[in-house]
């Protein structure tokens, strides 16, 4: 196989610790404890290797990255290497002193998640009383410090009818960009799928609201709409193609082609404690497994879109068909596609079950499984 292009971005999952308990979280159900996290020096080396490799952006993520006491130090180190720094945060711990220190350290951009446009609904999903007001205050501090802001609004059946309110919220917070992101079902989100699944009508209506707002707000607010895969006709090019654009380092140092890859049986993930990031990117067996198109079975193998969407999402193919090399069922050429749409329709029509909130350790609902 020829040498791969350098990755564009590194998702640095600094920690799985988080004060929020969102049931849609894409982190693995088995969360990494603080004792297993990489040390400051390990992360510095990761950023050194990433810069050498040609990475342009680092997303400081988690869990909640501000739970790391060395966050400012790590941001400064990455900025010193010329890496564009984006903080992906729940923002409930983002006080004025921390925003100022991060701006001073060279952070360029902050992405804040919002669970709803209204405090009661948002706090219920976050499992954290007062989260919504804290987020709004933090977003204002981010803008006052001159940092670019993206509002990441996580949408599901309980809030998808309030897209217009979410757009108004993003405008009020002076965000440059809004992601209206329908939940994708991985990790805790997969566990809570029935509780989160929107109806097809909700998705259609939300899409129309976004389209009208995009036209009205061109030049003021950029709006992305992440359509739920289960109602799609064609899959997303997940991660821009496996091992093509992104790499993900877990809190414990494992290097993954995407945040969910550890669910796929048979893949072996190298660790930055043992091997250099560049070596892992170029030759790691997990990266090579689904890179390019040679691994594809039918119908992807002969499809004209095979190097546009790269067969969709490997993790979703595994979760829904039991085989990661299958065509993503979000594609209507997959033999599983109709069953998937039927499942989404049935789940969204049934009463929503209670949430299983994210937590360290196996939740009571799953014990014995």
In the complex with ligand FES, the residue whose CB is nearer, 239 or 280, is 239
299 binding partner (options ligand SF4, ligand FES, none; Cβ < 5 to 8 Å by kind): ligand SF4
Per CB under 6 A, 329 contacts ligand SF4: no
Which residues, at least 6 apart from 11, have a Cβ–Cβ distance to it below 8 Å?
A: 59, 61, 246, 247, 248, 249, 259
260 binding partner (options ligand FES, ligand SF4, none; Cβ < 5 to 8 Å by kind): ligand FES
CB atoms inside a 10 Å sphere around CB 30: 12
In the complex with ligand SF4, the residue whose CB is nearer, 316 or 348, is 316
Per CB under 6 A, 328 contacts ligand SF4: yes
- Sign of torsion over alpha carbons 95, 98, 104, 105: negative
Distance of CA 229 to the CA centre of its chain: 14
179 binding partner (options ligand FES, ligand SF4, none; Cβ < 5 to 8 Å by kind): none
Closest approach, Cβ 124 to ligand FES, in A, equals 27
CA distance 6 to 276: 14
In the complex with ligand FES, the residue whose CB is nearer, 103 or 315, is 315
106 binding partner (options ligand FES, ligand SF4, none; Cβ < 5 to 8 Å by kind): none
CA distance 78 to 70: 12
CA distance 323 to 66: 36
- The residue within the footprint of ligand SF4, chosen from 306, 336, 345, 357 (CB under 6 A), is 306
**Residues forming the site for ligand FES (CB under 6 A):** 186, 238-239, 242, 258, 260-261, 313-316
Per CB under 6 A, 232 contacts ligand SF4: no
Q: What are phi and psi of 145, to 5 degrees?
A: -85, 0
CA distance 156 to 114: 12
CB atoms inside a 10 Å sphere around CB 39: 11
Site residues for ligand SF4, 275-304, by CB under 6 A, read 299-300, 303
Contacts with ligand SF4 by CB under 6 A lie at: 234-235, 299-300, 303, 305-306, 309, 311-312, 327-328, 331, 333
């Amino acid at each position: 196989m020829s040498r791969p292009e350098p990755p564009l971005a590194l998702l640095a999952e600094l920690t799985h610790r988080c004060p929020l308990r969102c049931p849609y979280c894409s982190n693995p159900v088995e969360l990494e404890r603080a004792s297993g996290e990489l040390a400051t020096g390990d992360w510095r080396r990761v950023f050194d290797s990433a810069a050498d490799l040609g990475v342009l952006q680092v997303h400081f993520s988690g869990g909640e990255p501000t739970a790391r006491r060395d966050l400012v130090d790590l941001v400064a180190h990455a900025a010193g290497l010329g890496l564009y720094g984006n903080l992906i945060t729940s923002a409930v711990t983002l006080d004025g002193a921390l925003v100022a220190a991060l701006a001073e350290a060279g952070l360029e951009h902050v992405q804040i998640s919002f669970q709803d446009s209204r405090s009661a609904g948002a706090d219920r999903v976050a499992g954290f009383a007062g989260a919504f007001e804290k987020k709004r205050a933090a977003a204002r501090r981010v803008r006052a410090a001159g940092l670019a802001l993206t509002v990441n609004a996580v949408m599901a059946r309980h809030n998808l009818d309030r897209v217009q309110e979410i757009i108004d919220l993003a405008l009020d917070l002076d965000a440059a960009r809004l992601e209206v992101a329908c939940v994708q079902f991985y990790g805790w989100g997969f566990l809570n799928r029935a509780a989160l699944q929107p109806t097809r009508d909700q998705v259609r209506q939300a899409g129309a609201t976004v389209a009208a707002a995009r036209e009205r707000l061109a030049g003021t607010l950029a709006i992305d709409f992440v359509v739920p895969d289960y109602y799609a006709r064609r899959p997303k090019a997940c991660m821009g193609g496996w091992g093509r654009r992104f790499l993900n380092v877990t809190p414990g140092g494992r290097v993954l082609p995407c945040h969910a890859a550890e669910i796929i049986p048979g893949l072996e993930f190298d660790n930055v404690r043992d091997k250099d990031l560049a070596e892992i990117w170029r030759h790691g067996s997990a990266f090579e497994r689904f890179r390019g198109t040679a691994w594809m079975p039918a119908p992807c193998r002969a499809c004209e879109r095979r190097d546009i969407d790269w067969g969709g999402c490997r993790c979703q193919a595994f979760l829904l068909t039991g085989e990661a090399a299958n065509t993503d069922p979000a594609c209507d050429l997959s033999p599983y596609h109709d069953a998937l749409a039927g499942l989404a329709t049935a789940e969204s029509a049934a009463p929503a079950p209670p949430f299983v909130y994210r937590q360290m350790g196996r939740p009571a609902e799953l014990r014995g499984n």
